[in-house]
Structure 1
């Protein structure tokens, strides 16, 4: 995690997703991994320890990717771009397009692919939450559902993450909490939970 903080001091571009993934792993994936012993794994869980840790890692990556997509405009004003350079180029976009901050069809298409990948990591993370100790499941489910909704808000803002900061309203937060609580009641032994695209 400390190495990830150091990266922020010396690196402001990421050539591809492999580089970005490593950054996300350092600054957020490690938090997910360190949280597993604190949260605890349910005695009823039949999952491998590796799979639970992989899910925790995926949640950290998903959260950090969400931060990056939410904060594109804010980061650009600081001269930083946390988006894969090769994927920007493939979409017909450049650093200057990010700095100019104009929502175009190219930008929308690019953002759709970035959001899809972040949601894929949230999907991987879901598989591990049910394996945690029951007391830990509700806050983790709540965090997962609420953070994933930030991606929905970016979509609702027509992919304008240059001038609009995507956030989840208090009403939506209140709606998500009982959903998270309901999911937290599902024990590992009875888990047959559909992965939802939106909470």
Structure 2
């Protein structure tokens, strides 16, 4: 496929896979928007391959996860090197990687997160949790920042972009605690579960529901800290990119805020934010982008330099 066709497929993918990101991406300038779609197309395809899903829905067991991860690495490496793979999402990544100079290490870091899932990994500590979030989302935040024109050598700004990825993933984990448990997964740190007196093999025990709700809210609070930090980095982006990032932060941040307000109901049904609230964040983010006054240091926050 040529670039124009890849962009069309990428747009379809983001509109199916994430209405929130699709809506926020329309605020980018055209070239940045297309590149963001191309990057998303590859990220979404990798995630679906790793989890046996279709655009994030219908998780199923993978017969040979190690082989799947190896194939993912191979096609990503070929695409990054400028080769045609014949697989549209990977070719899309090749296009955006070549155009923007995305370091291969960031792509490898993301795939490392899927490899953790493939071997049934579970976090022992909060630090482990944040490292996992870096691999599957923080690295994506860094790549997206480079798509927006941030230098791969601007480590301070990439740290802020990573923070937004961490915030998104923490909100995802909080939203999907019950669904993950039913699929045999748990991203709540073992140390948290031990403190709360929750059996790691039976986290949905009705007798420990109140304790579990407290841990879910703890995830949401953590997501809020990284969202606030990411907003500072957005201040250094070009206006339209700043607007898009602030809108995405607000829209996705509302997931964590709605979970907290649900008082445990998020364990019974998936939390969504309404179309009206998404639109209101686009308006609100416009004002924030114009004022552009976010200030906050990163003292005490996890940093991607600790990733292994």
Q: TM-score, normalised by structure 1?
A: 0.84
Q: Does 1:180 align with 2:281?
A: no
Counterpart position of 1:32: 141
Partner deviation per Cα, 1:109-146 (whole Å, 9 max, x = no partner): 32332221111111111110111111211211111001
Counterpart position of 1:68: 173
- Alpha-carbon contact 1:12-1:79 (below 8 Å) kept: no
Q: Does 1:18 align with 2:127?
A: yes
> What's the secondary structure of 2:267's corresponding residue?
coil
**Whole-Å separation in 1 of the counterparts to 2:294 and 2:134:** 27
Counterpart position of 1:192: 293
Counterpart position of 1:94: 199
**Whole-Å separation in 2 of the counterparts to 1:109 and 1:3:** 30
Runs (4+) of structure 1 moved beyond 6 Å?
A: none
- Alpha-carbon contact 1:41-1:133 (below 8 Å) kept: no
- Alpha-carbon contact 2:173-2:187 (below 8 Å) kept: yes
How far the C-alpha of 1:185 sits from its partner, in A, is 2.2
In structure 1, which of residues 144, 147, 160 is the aligned counterpart of residue 252 of structure 2? Answer: 147
**Whole-Å separation in 2 of the counterparts to 1:13 and 1:67:** 16
- Alpha-carbon contact 1:4-1:27 (below 8 Å) kept: yes
How far the C-alpha of 1:81 sits from its partner, in A, is 0.4
C-alpha RMSD of matched pairs (Å): 2.2
- Alpha-carbon contact 2:177-2:267 (below 8 Å) kept: yes
Q: Of the two, which has the highest radius of gyration?
A: 2
**Whole-Å separation in 1 of the counterparts to 2:207 and 2:230:** 33
Q: What pairs up with 1:32-181 in 2 under 5 angstroms?
A: 32-41=141-150, 49-100=154-205, 104-181=209-286
- 5+ long unaligned stretches in structure 2: 1-109, 297-308
How far the C-alpha of 1:102 sits from its partner, in A, is 6.3
